[in-house]
A and B are shown apart, each in its own frame.
Chain A
Amino acid sequence: MSVDQKTVRRIAHLARIKVAEEDVPRLEGELNSILHWIEQLNEVDVAGVEPLTSVVAMKMKKRQDVVTDGNYPQDVTRNAPAAEDEFFMVPKVVE
């Protein structure tokens, strides 16, 4: 499988990365060279093989559904590029 320039633009948008029009051909080439190299996986017979979900055979850890952390909103918003009264500030999203 390979990607065309239209697909490159679509992936970039899905990934929320602005790609300049002049960079699209370069990305098309780079992504296709990686995708073609990955295609050698098609040689492997994977019939009846379960996908790996955990490298360590262990039961998923569970804990009591109780609050163990929190109550420091100032710490949570301290690194925000824009914050006010312990809220994250974003551009207007609703008209």
Chain B
Amino acid sequence: MTSLTSLTISAARGGLKKKSFSARELTDAYLAAMEKARILNAYVVETPDKARAMAEASDARLAKGEAGALEGIPLGIKDLFATKGVHTQAASHILDGFKPTYESTVTSNLWRDGAVMLGKLNMDEFAMGSSNETSYYGNVINPWRRRNSNAALVPGGSSGGSATAVAAHICAAATATDTGGSIRQPAAFTGTVGIKPTYGRCSRWGIVAFASSLDQAGPIARDVRDAAILLKSMASVDPKDTTSVDHEVPDYEAVIGKPIKGLRVGIPKEYRVDGTPPEIDALWDKGAKWLKEQGAEIVEISLPHTKYALPAYYIVAPAEASSNLARYDGVRYGLRVPGDDIVSMYENTRAAGFGREVQRRVMIGTYVLSAGYYDAYYVRAQKVRTLIKQDFDKAWDKVDVVLTPATPNPAFAPGEITDPVQMYLNDVFTVTVNMAGLPGISVPGGLSAEGLPLGLQLIGKPFDEATLFQVGHAIEEAAGKFEAPKWW
């Protein structure tokens, strides 16, 4: 028998139903694998007792024939999701010791469907980062290494723990969040599948807020089908989130394998960025060729404001973050560092509790929102955002889906990128999608010359995640799956 941790969600679901193994056995196999993989630093907290209790409850339901859609499936949860009574710190020191007295809507949906929680996953502090180097709990290590090299690589960010855990088979799949590329970029760096759904598809209630007009939850999984299974459970209409959209959640899995013949696939010429390695462009061409061979029509399109998405994002996101993070003041939760008076208590607490990148972004946000600069920065950025959205609105007259590279490079080494702006450029292909509120999926397309995974991104119309799963699966069929050789 193959090892239980090598099973996809769909395979494990089948095995549990046939009683080939129990949910408890499946969970125990993951808990053992997690213990052996601690060098990757993917989990900030493991919850073995909770996992075993949940797995036993799943076995009871399976025995009674009352299995939910994710019954007995062991998942990792990004540290950004509030989990009742369990460490929830957004990988920040400022939330020191915080254990919520409530559960996020997304995780509630997963437990309702029978999923099992293995623990909380490492991430960039407050989801600010593209390499998982800003976590208070240390760097996450990518299970992938360059060919003939033992040097550590970053898993991408901010959902670096989620991507590493999925790629290393220390969870069946994971929750993640994406504000500028934080699901798709780490998925691309680790050979996994990650989807950021349309803004409003998953409830943001109980997810630690970074930039409220951009944040969306989504899954990272081993293949497209698993991502479809997981998103179906995560997504819901939630009265607790006023931006949750009243839109029925379709059965995403039903489109897997549906032919793509006749679909129009847009290739935006502005995504050919100077300095992009030739292997990224070559993979992109290959992706278009695969879809064409399966009967899709390739259409060149123009998204003229693409290059302005990233600088506009670095006004909007820090502005919203500076406002959202104002709540961490040493009064209601987490860390408190005393001072001479209440203001110095605030200042000392926030200086000790926030890491460098978070401080930088809060300060940028404070500056662009400050008196006299609001119109020049924030209002201008929101106008540019309108233009970015209009670019896509026009494209949808001509195409059903857009194909682009997911990232401008494969995984890099920790410490390799120290300049903040250079780090921000890692999200150049993903951030437009957040600015326009659209769904985007990253699917592994191949390996770089050095043997590292590269991803292709598909961008869809609002609430058309189904087409992303359909076309994503077509890419997966052509490209195959990629697994990191085990060294840990």
Contacts and interface: CB of A to CB of B under 8 A. Distances in A.
A46 B375 CA distance: 12
A93 interface: yes
A-side interface size class = 35 or more
A14 interface: yes
Contact of B385 (A16, A51, A91): A51
Interface in B60-104: 97-102
B389 A52 contact: yes
B268 interface: no
B370 A11 contact: yes
A40 B362 CA distance: 21
Interface in B333-347: 333-336, 338-339, 341-347
Interface stretch (B107-115, B223-231, B305-313): B305-313
Given A3-B367, A51-B385, A40 B344 contact: no
A16 B315 contact: no
A37 B384 contact: no
Interface in A1-51: 1, 3, 7-8, 11-19, 27, 30-31, 33-35, 37-44, 46, 49-51
Nearest to A50: B386
A44 B350 contact: no
B350 A16 contact: yes
Contact of A17 (B332, B363, B389): B363
B272 to A, nearest CB: 18
B341 A91 contact: yes
Please list the 4 inter-chain residue pairs (A to B) with the smallest Cβ-Cβ separation, ordered nearest first: A55-B437, A51-B382, A81-B336, A18-B347
25 contacts: A11-B363, A16-B346, A17-B350, A18-B344, A19-B351, A30-B420, A31-B360, A35-B364, A38-B311, A46-B380, A52-B382, A54-B213, A54-B243, A56-B462, A60-B242, A76-B101, A79-B99, A81-B331, A81-B333, A81-B335, A88-B332, A90-B342, A91-B338, A91-B342, A91-B345
Interface of A: 1, 3, 7-8, 11-19, 27, 30-31, 33-35, 37-44, 46, 49-56, 58, 60-61, 63, 72, 75-82, 88, 90-93
